[in-house]
Amino acid sequence: MRKTLSDDEVLSFSEKIFRNFVDNFEIEPLQKIHIFISIAKFKEVQTELFISHFLKNGIQIYLPKIVNDEIIAVAFDENTEMEVNSWGIAEPVSDEDAGVRDFDYIITPLLYCDPHGNRVGFGKGYYDGFFAKISGECKKVGVGFYSPNEVVEDLNPHDIPLDYLVTPAEVLSFNGLL
């Protein structure tokens, strides 16, 4: 379904997702937020809106980078040197893991999220491995264009559900809090 979206629809939906995020979560200076860089060819939620807002508001930003088949968190600011990796994904040049495990939020890409917070990504398990290493207090927030309706049945024992899903129309909580 995402592949059928026009660039204008992706931008419009991304703006609504961004607005739902800032309207529903307490974002404060010095908080630590881990966020992905969008891949335009996959029509992902445009996270540039989030990153720009975080930079302007003193939020500590961390970006994912795959090193030795695992996600590490690299500190990001407007001076961070970026490069495009072999998958066509922009990521920091640095391989230095910031060592942060107590993020306030992890904003996560997804293909689909079911009504229980089970996330479907691209099948590599990178985010589940990353989630397993962070503080249980961290809020795992998926961003996607569609509300969940079908249950993901082929769960893996290593899968870790999201706490929230933000869509253009709503914010869903899978842990009873918001």
Tens-place pLDDT, residues 113-161: 999 998 988 767 899 999 999 998 999 999 999 999 888 787 777 889 9
Nearest of 25, 24, 60, 166 to residue 109 by alpha carbon = 166
Rounded Cα gap, residues 86 and 48, in angstroms: 21
DSSP string, 120-156: E-SSS-HHHHHHHTS-TTSEEEEE-SS---SPP----
* Residue-wise pLDDT tens digits, 25-64: 999 999 999 999 998 888 999 999 999 999 999 999 999 9
Rounded Cα gap, residues 37 and 59, in angstroms: 16
- Tell me the percentage of the chain whose pLDDT exceeds 90: 75
Q: How wide is the angle at C-alpha 98 spanned by C-alphas 17 and 68, nearest 5°?
A: 90
pLDDT over 90 (residue 104): yes
Rounded Cα gap, residues 66 and 71, in angstroms: 5
Of residues 169 and 157, more confidently modeled: 169
Half-sphere exposure (CA, 13 Å, Cβ side) for 79? 0
Question: What's the pTM?
Answer: 0.93
Backbone phi and psi for residue 2, each to the nearest 5 degrees, phi listed first = -65, -35
Mean pLDDT score across all residues of the chain: 92
Nearest of 106, 26, 128 to residue 62 by alpha carbon = 106
pLDDT of residue 157: 77
pLDDT of residue 178: 59
Rounded Cα gap, residues 174 and 83, in angstroms: 35
Rounded Cα gap, residues 144 and 165, in angstroms: 7
H or E element that contains 55: helix 48-56
Give the number of other Cβ atoms within 10 Å of residue 73's Cβ.
24
